[in-house]
Structure 1
């Protein structure tokens, strides 16, 4: 790992707000950080359709496999120096840590990509970093090594979680970290979407995860959870680019009311509609799922037409369109997505919601500007204030600082 430099060596860079984005995808995280006031100077991705999308929207991109990219390339392309970037952000591919299916952790080669993210932090030494992922990363197990083959002198062979390794590596680099699971709906996003967020500070600053801004119950409607209606109702009869459902699936879907799923089908129809999934375990909530206009959307997935993760329009017998998908993820209407229709859905479904990203950016800026805390000499009404504090931690009750 690189040499840890002292605060004084970086102080000349403290006025810049430049961001290097890794694993950028369709740039949902980047758009949100820009809305917060940061300057994303370069993005990076391996996926050709994502790279074309970034370029179509006028962004500077380094295309390629991060395992083959040297950090100096990013600095050279931006004119930045070691220690100068305000922040590096990114979400290493999350499939190995998903809570669905087999959880291979770092047995899966893609699980090692977080080490390349750490490699970039180690060399470039940004003031802050933001790493996001699926919540399953918090409990994803390390590669299992049989007891008889373990070497106690090698800590990587001890049982633990992927998160343990990540935190240990950042600790070696001298970064203070805070992490937790945030639900995007608590930050003005019209969607339930839980994401793991890890924020790091090179200079031991008082970092924190963003405080929720929206709530299921609030006396001011402006601060209540946002509904699907609030973002896509005007597109009801303007489906634009849209995937299609088979006639067979549409036949059953037409029987499902707004906000319902397969459980709302007639009892004698359910076994036919569900097929082999009828006797399988799990909640199966995504089968024949029709969204409700008056609730936040379920988590937007990479395809709205898969049988187990259907995202049907609240009133129309079709899946959500590409534009509706983008609205729920809070992309600007003028954002250009490139590639096939399937590629566009995948890019949008994999993105960080813009509102959540903006909240993260504002939290980091508040730390940098030392504007996050109101200092008081006395703290009155302790019980009352503790109840308020508990209430605002609805979306982040797993905060931890290292």
Structure 2
């Protein structure tokens, strides 16, 4: 039975946001660029809390499991049903002590349920949940292939996404979800993220339509490249992680845009060590970025052996400043903590351009300005192909 809907239309002029799992506020900055107002953020990590404070934002630090939703409303100066949006990316790794018959991947044993608890109480007009794309296909219970039995009911529990959609459905929210790649929204990096948008009042929500393309006749609509965003700061002596002498030695032999495969044949096995015999493409080992391409996904450290993020031409990893540029943080944004903590905050953030596009899609839904209604979609071939390409670009599914 669906919950009885209450008329919250008196709050429809509101554009206030409450943010959870805010981190370095990448998602929040993008939403504010779109025209929303983040009233308060929350995070468990002390360095993230200090980063938010250093940039003048209201924040409630601490474990979300110990926070009451009314606290967040009081600090934001808002009533139940008044917030325009609640946003956040709850970690979906559940506790190993999840209840009887629940698999190790079941989000009902994770912080996801506390995010649900906040939305259920606060009752925002919209919510945004972002996460790793793996939750779309991750099974609730991991069973080794050799032990799988199609007739075993405990092996037919569905996916993590099934549970997530079921929980939001219980709250009465209409949802749309899909995997978005940040490069299609003006971000100079390939970064696929699962995005779920919900509407309390069952409005016509949609995932943002791509704005940037690999090929386009106008430069401003083409994918952004590493060179466009970091070439002007490559010579600055900024904060930067350090490669070991051994790794720096091998990196010297790798050309721009290359990786371990570009090392001399007699060096590859020595440089790779035990990873040389392992499977997979191993594309991140001794990886140099290319000025002429978007970056690979920015990770939480640029010096890990398997996921190196090294400068296109200099024998060093990307600096903190360059890392922040790839995630589109404002130039004056302050990151607090150790160098490692700064990289981690930046690497975990939602790219600003992607967040802004999501925010604009939600605002367009609220304002009913997203669609130009026509009597028919003219043409039968090229117009329909363009329409289908736009729809596939968001890879959206409605519930």
TM normalised by structure 1 equals 0.92
Q: Which runs of 5+ in 1 are unaligned?
A: 98-103
What secondary structure sits across from 1:40 in the alignment?
strand
The answer for the alignment partner of 1:310 in structure 2 is 308
1:231 paired residue among 221, 229, 232: 229
Q: Secondary structure at the match of 1:268?
A: helix
- Does structure 1 residue 400 correspond to structure 2 residue 393? no
Residue aligning to 2:121: 123
**What's the offset of the Cα at 1:380?**
1.2
Distance 1:392 1:26 in 2: 31
Corresponding position of 2:73:
75
- Tell me if the contact between 2:188 and 2:224 (Cα under 8 Å) persists in the aligned partners: yes
Q: Contact (CA 8 Å) 2:107, 2:164: kept in 1 or not?
A: no
Q: 1:79, CA displacement in angstroms?
A: 1.4
2:160 match:
162
Q: Is the 8 A contact 1:87 1:128 kept in 2?
A: yes
Aligned residue for 1:389, secondary structure, equals helix
Unpaired runs of 5+ residues, structure 2, are 96-101
State the alpha-carbon separation in 1 of the partners of residues 241 and 94 from structure 2. Answer: 27
Change (3 A) 1:39 1:157: farther
CA pair 350-382 structure 1, distance change in 2 beyond 3 A: same
Shift of 1:94: 5.0
Deviation at 1:358, TM superposition (A): 0.1
Question: Deviation per CA, 1:166-204, whole angstroms, max 9, x where unpaired?
Answer: 100111111000000000000000000000000000001
Kept in 1, the 8 Å contact 2:254–2:286? The answer is yes
Give 1:395 deviation, angstroms. 3.9
Contact kept, 8 Å, 1:212 with 1:393, in 2: the verdict is no
Deviation at 1:140, TM superposition (A): 1.6
Task: State how far apart, in whole Å, the 2-side matches of 1:341 and 1:381 are.
Answer: 56
Any idea what SS the aligned residue of 1:391 has? helix
Contact 1:20 1:89 in 2 (8 A): yes
- In the other structure, the counterpart of 2:288 is 290
Q: Aligned ranges for residues 320-359 of structure 1 at < 5 Å?
A: 320-359=318-357
Aligned-pair CA distance for 1:5: 4.8
1:93 and 1:110 in contact (8 A); partners too = no
Match of 2:388 in 1: 390
In 2, Cα distance between the equivalents of 1:34 and 1:276? 46
Inter-CA distance 198–109: structure 2 relative to 1 (3 Å threshold): closer
> TM-score w.r.t. structure 2 length?
0.93
- Counterpart mapping for 1:128-207 below 5 A: 128-143=126-141, 159-207=157-205
Separation of aligned partners in 2, 1:329 and 1:110: 31
- RMSD, matched Cα: 2.4
Distance 1:114-1:225 versus aligned 2 partners, 3 A rule: same
Q: Call closer, same or farther: CA 1:22–1:105 in 2, change over 3 Å.
A: farther
**Aligned residue in 2 for 1:258:** 256
8 Å contact kept, 1:7–1:203: no
Distance apart, 1:377 and its partner CA: 1.4
Distance 2:323 2:22 in 1: 18
- CA shift for structure 1 position 382: 3.0
Shift of 1:75: 0.7
Cα distance change, pair 94–396 in 1 and its aligned pair in 2 (3 A): same
- In structure 2, relative to structure 1, the CA distance for the partners of 1:282 and 1:93 (3 Å cut) is same
- 2:381 aligned counterpart, secondary structure: helix
